Copies of this chain bind each other. A is one copy, B any other.
Amino acid sequence: MTRKLYSTCLVLTLGASYALTAYPQVKPEVLVKQRQAVMTLQGKYMGPLAGMLKGVVPYDEKVVARNAGYLEVLSKMPWDGFDPSTRDVKSQALPAVFTERGKFKEAQDRLQTAIAQLVAAAKVGSEGPIKTAIGDVGKACGNCHENFREKQ
């Protein structure tokens, strides 16, 4: 198969609007689905760490280090999904996401800073500071949810 024909197939196979358009033209519904996907995965990898902090999941340094690394990358991914075009798409995002951009950006930065500190603590490998750092990440999650997400 020639590259041209192959790449046509590849784009058709992927099917996503992303494949055919630059970022600003991605459908709002797709942006919402993508940002929700990030939240789902942040929950997947933060959940066990919160469980370790509470003592209901066995403390495991390797899991902490792996999950912290995953969270570091995941926490870069959701923000472009909160594009103004998504304002009217049904989701749990509060209007403040779109009206208080500065405060929302601060909440994002707080999360990323807390995760960076967790990654650093996981490298040192001492349980006390790691648990403090896990707690700070949890507070950063909660801070953003408190101000920018509908109450569940």
Instruction: Answer yes or no: A16 CB below 8 A from chain B CBs.
Output: yes
A48 at the interface (CB under 8 A from B): yes
> For residue A96, which residues in chain B have a CB less than 8 angstroms away from its CB?
none
Smallest CB separation, A43 vs chain B (Å): 5
Decide if A8 is an interface residue (CB 8 Å cutoff). yes
Give A54's nearest chain B residue, CB to CB. B7
Interface of A: prevailing SS: helix
Does A89 have its Cβ within 8 Å of any Cβ on chain B? no
Give, as a whole number of angstroms, the nearest-CB distance from A45 to chain B: 8
The answer to whether the Cβ of A34 comes within 8 Å of any Cβ in the partner chain is yes
**Other-chain contact of A145, B13, B18, B21, B40 (Cβ < 8 Å):** B13
Q: Which residue of B lies closest to A72 (CB)?
A: B73
Q: Cβ of B51 and Cβ of A18 under 8 Å apart? A: yes
B20 engages A51 (CB within 8 Å): yes
Of residues 1 through 34 on chain A, the ones whose CB sits less than 8 Å from some CB of chain B are: 3-4, 6-11, 13-23, 33-34
Min CB distance A106 to B, Å, is 19
Check B38 against A41 for contact (C-beta < 8 Å): yes
Most buried by B among A7, A13, A34, A138: A7
